[in-house]
Amino acid sequence: MPEFIEVTDVLDLHGTPVKLIPDMIDAFLQNAIELKLERVQIIHGKGRSKLKYTTYQLIKNDARVFRFYDAPPQLGGWGRTVIELKPDDKDG
């Protein structure tokens, strides 16, 4: 792992070993909630899409996720997933 990771609203999984993906997605979504982001994106590529399948399995029942869908064509289409997050209601 690099010493410094810039947190953005996009997580690119290209080249990531599948065994690391659950922890990466969990940390990514948690950071997004803490940053009060409403929408994030995960790039998993089009290929045979093991990364997309794994991503969907992890987010489909995640309590932080409101809904998710393929990105529009200009943003990568089915090679990228857009995730709308539930608002963090800890603030009241």
Q: How many domains does the chain have?
A: 1
In a domain? residue 2: no
CATH of residue 28: 3.30.1370.110
In a domain? residue 68: yes
Render pLDDT for 3-19 as a digit per residue (tens, 0 to 9). Answer: 666 678 999 998 889 89
CA angle 48, 2, 77 (to 5 degrees): 30
Q: Domain range spanning residue 61?
A: 10-87
Query: What's the DSSP call for residue 39?
Result: E
Contact by Cβ (8 Å): 25, 17: no
- Separation CA 87–CA 72 (nearest Å): 23
- pLDDT value of position 50: 87
pLDDT at residue 24 tops 60: yes
Identity of the amino acid at 48? R
CA 3 from chain centre, in angstroms, equals 21
